[in-house]
């Protein structure tokens, strides 16, 4: 997926067809736009959403700091701990597919993204040979509320293990930066 930030798009009619024109101000977006235009063929779907400034990495960094401490105490892989919290927050998309399609889907969905993972939820009752799959979104896709819930869960588990965590006020300040 290609993501480009822009302001003040407009439309233009050329030869009876309507086009959406997106100004590419940042050099990175210009490069992405040119690459997409030169390599694209076929039909695409564009999803446009309101721009939000980049969120602070402080909340994410803090979450990983605590996860690492939990990992050391519990002797569990930190990625497994992280994915457990992602699953607890429960932000996922549900898909119906064959088992062979799932193998390809899993490879693509999880490629180069620690927080994205998938699980087979069960077989379809309606479609023979099909599986229901939950594709979990990592914390980079979380809203401020979702990230806040994840950090609250991590802090609770740290406290149970005797690991010192920030005060609720300090965590609230981190979450303000996450927005």
The full set of domain ranges for the chain reads 1-51, 57-178
Q: 14 - beta bridge partners?
A: 17
Residue-by-residue DSSP string for 114-166: TT-EEEEEEE-SSSTTEEEEEEEPPGGG--HHHHHHHHHHHHHHHHHTT----
pLDDT for the residue 4: 79
Residues 6+ apart with CB under 8 A from 67: 78, 81, 82, 85, 154
pLDDT for the residue 152: 93
pLDDT tens-place values along the chain, 179 residues long:
777 778 888 888 888 889 888 888 777 777 777 888 888 888 888 887 776 555 555 888 889 999 999 999 999 999 999 999 999 998 899 999 999 999 999 999 999 888 899 999 999 999 999 999 999 999 888 888 899 899 999 999 999 999 988 777 777 777 776 55
pTM of the model: 0.63
Residue 172, judged by CB atoms within 10 A of its CB (0-12, 13-18, 19+), counts as exposed
Helices 57-74 and 144-160: angle between axes, nearest 10 degrees: 30
């Amino acid at each position: 997926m290609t993501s480009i930030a822009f302001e003040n798009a407009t439309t233009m009619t050329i030869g009876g067809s309507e086009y959406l024109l997106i100004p590419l101000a940042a050099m990175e977006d210009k490069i992405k736009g040119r690459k997409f235009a030169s390599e694209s063929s076929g039909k695409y779907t564009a999803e446009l959403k309101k721009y939000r400034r980049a969120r602070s990495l402080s909340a994410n960094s803090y979450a990983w700091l605590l996860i690492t401490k939990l990992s050391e105490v519990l002797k569990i892989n930190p990625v497994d701990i992280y994915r457990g919290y992602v699953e607890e927050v429960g932000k996922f998309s549900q898909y119906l597919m064959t088992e062979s399609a799932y193998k390809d889907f899993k490879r693509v969905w999880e490629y180069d993204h620690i927080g994205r993972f998938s699980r087979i939820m069960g077989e379809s009752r309606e479609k023979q040979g099909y599986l229901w799959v939950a594709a979990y979104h990592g914390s980079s896709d979380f809203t401020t509320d979702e990230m806040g819930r994840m950090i609250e869960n991590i802090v609770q588990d740290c406290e149970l293990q005797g690991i010192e965590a920030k005060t609720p006020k300090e965590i609230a300040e981190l979450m303000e930066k996450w927005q």
